[in-house]
Amino acid sequence: MSARPSVISQLGLAPHRLRGEVAVVTGAGGGIGYEAARALLWLGASVVIAEINAEAGAEAARRLADEFGRERAAFIHTDVGDERSVEALAQAAVRRFGKVDIVLNNATVAVLGAVKEVPIEKWDLSYRVNLRGPVLLARAFLPGMLGRHHGVFVCVSSTGTAYLGAYETFKAAQVHLANTLDAELEGTGVIAFTIGPGLAPTETARAAVERLAPLMGMTMAEFFELNKSAALSVEEAGAGFAAAIALAEQFRGQEISSLQALKAANPAFGGRAPASSLAGAGPAQLETARALCQGVRRTLAEQSEGWKQRSLFERQWVIRDFKKTTGMPVEAWLNALAQLEASLQAGDNPPVPLPPLERLAGYYGHLADLAQGYERNAAKLEENLKHIRAWQAEVEALRRALSGL
Ligand SMILES: NC(=O)c1ccc[n+]([C@@H]2O[C@H](COP(=O)([O-])OP(=O)(O)OC[C@H]3O[C@@H](n4cnc5c(N)ncnc54)[C@H](O)[C@@H]3O)[C@@H](O)[C@H]2O)c1
C-alpha cells in the first residue's frame, strides 16, 4: 500500500506505532475526524468510523479502505446520543475487530447563537451529541479496556467565544469528564485526556465563522486573521489528534491542543517552537538567568515532593490543578527547567525552547487566590501568602532576565 498522508508521516513517529490497536472515531465521516482516522490508520491502527451521516460514513470508510486495506477500516452507522445505537456500535466493533483500544469522541454539532436566543431544543441536541454521547461511549467501551488494562479515551474540546454557549458549555463539560475519568482510572492502564484542534477550516468551522464574524463586527477574513495563532489545516488538526493518541502516556489527564501534540512528536513542527536567543548575552546576564532558573526549579521540585505526602485524593487534585493551570505535568516542567538551566550554563546558541513561564507565574497567583479562599487563620494565611508571592516573584524575575538576553 503506498499510503502516505503527509503531516503524520513527517513527525518522526513510527508508521507501526499503533499496530494491532483498534480505534473508534466518532463523527469521522468528514472534517478533522476523517483526517484523524486516516492518521491513526497510517500509524498502524484499525479504525471504525462511527458516524450518523450514513452516506458520509460509508464514503469515508470506502476511501480509507482503498488507501489502507479493507480489513482495517469499517463504517458502523451510529448516533452517539442514542444509548442503543452506542451499545450496538460496541458489539459490532468487537465482532469485527475483536476489541476496541481507543475511543476518540470527535462527533459534534456546533450550535450557534446568543444564549438567550438559542431554542431550548437546540441546547438539548447539543447536550445529546456533545456530552451524552461521550458519556455513553465511556459506559460502552471502558469496561473492555479495563478488562485488558489498556486503552485511551479521548474527549475533544474547543475554545469559547461569544455566541457559542450552547456548544461550548458541553465541550467544557467534556474536559471535566476526561479529568474525572483520569482520576478514576489511575493505575488501571487506561488513559483519558482532552484535545482541542485549534481553528481548522472544515465546512462546519467555515459556516460557523461566516455567522459568528458579523455578530462580532468582523469580516470572515478578519476573524481568521485574529485567530491565526490557533490556525491549523484540517489534516494537521487530525494528525494532532492521532499523534496525541500515539503519545497518550505523556498527556494523561491533560487538556492539550493538536499543535502541542504535533510539537511533542516533532519539536520542529511548523517551525513555531517558542525560543529565546542567547546570542550576544554577556556571562553575567547568563549567570543571573541560570541562578534564577535553578531557584525556580528547586522551588517546584520541593513543592512536588511535598504533594507526595498528601492523601491520595488531595494529591490527585493538586497534580491535576497544576497541569490544568500550567499546561504541563510537573515532571515535564522540572525537565524543561533543567534543560533551560543547562543551556544557560553552556551559553548555548542556537536557541533554547522556553517553557510557558507566564503560566507558571499564573499558577502561583492562582495558589494565592486559593489560599485566600480556604485558610481561615489570618496569621497562617499571611505566612502562606508571603511564600507564594516569593515563588511568583522568582518566576517573574526569571522571565525578565530571559527577555533581557
Ligand atoms: N474545526 C474547528 O476549527 C474546531 C474548533 C474547535 C473544536 N473543534 C472540534 O473538533 C471536532 C471535529 O470538528 P469538525 O470541524 O471536523 O466537525 P464536523 O462538523 O466537520 O464533523 C462532525 C461530524 O460529527 C457527525 N455527527 C454529528 N452528530 C452525530 C451523532 N449524533 N452521532 C455520530 N456522529 C455525529 C457529523 O455528521 C460530522 O460528520 C469536533 O469535536 C469539534 O467540536 C473543531
Please report the pLDDT score of residue 154 as a whole number: 98
Kindly list the catalytic residues: 167
Task: Supply the pLDDT for residue 96.
Answer: 98
Q: What is the pLDDT of residue 311?
A: 87
State the pLDDT at residue 176: 93
DSSP assigned state of 46: E
Q: For ligand 1, atom 5, which residue shows the shortest CA distance?
A: 199
Which residue's C-alpha comes closest to atom 4 of ligand 1?
199
Distance from the CA of 199 to the center of ligand 1, in angstroms? 12
Spans of all domains in the chain: 6-265, 276-403
Distances (CA, A) of 310 to 317, 324, 339, 346: 10, 19, 28, 37
pLDDT of residue 272: 46
Closest atom of ligand 1 to CA, residue 32: 16
CA 30 to ligand 1 center in whole angstroms: 8
- Specify the pLDDT at position 227: 85
Interval 1-14: pLDDT, tens: 444 679 999 999 99
- pLDDT for 3: 47
| Residue-level pLDDT at 352 | 66
If you count them, how many residues does the chain have? Answer: 405
Could you give the CA distance from residue 311 to residue 184 in angstroms, rounded to a whole number? 15
CA distances from 1 to 41, 59, 69, 236 (A): 12, 19, 8, 22
* Segment 229-286, tens digit of pLDDT: 889 999 999 999 999 999 999 888 888 899 989 988 997 887 644 445 555 667 788 8
pLDDT at position 277: 54
- List, for the chain, all residue ranges whose pLDDT scores fall below the cut of 50: 1-3, 272-275, 350-351
The SS3 of residue 331 is: helix
Topology adopted by domain 6-265: Rossmann fold (3.40.50)
How far is residue 135's CA from residue 51's CA, in Å, rounded to a whole number?
A: 16
Task: Give me the pLDDT at residue 356, please.
Answer: 85
CA dihedral 282, 286, 287, 292 (to 10 degrees): 150
Q: For 122, how many CA atoms within 13 A lie in the half-sphere containing its CB?
A: 17
Instruction: State pLDDT tens for residues 17-32.
Output: 999 999 999 999 999 9
Q: HSE of 79 in the Cβ direction (CA atoms, 13 Å)?
A: 8
- Residues ≥6 apart with Cβ < 8 Å to 362: 325, 326
Q: Whose CA is nearest to atom 31 of ligand 1?
A: 79
Q: Which three cell numbers stand for residue 194?
A: 482532552
| CA pair distance 353, 291, nearest whole angstrom | 18
Atom of ligand 1 nearest to the CA of 157: 7
Residue in 204, 224, 229, 232 to alter for ligand 1 test, most ligand atoms within 8 A of Cβ? 204
Cα of 123 vs centre of ligand 1, distance in Å, is 16
Q: Using a 6 Å CB cutoff, which residues line ligand 1?
A: 26-27, 29-33, 51-53, 56, 78-81, 106-109, 129, 156, 158, 196-197, 199-200, 202-205
Name residue, grid cell 489545516. Answer: 233
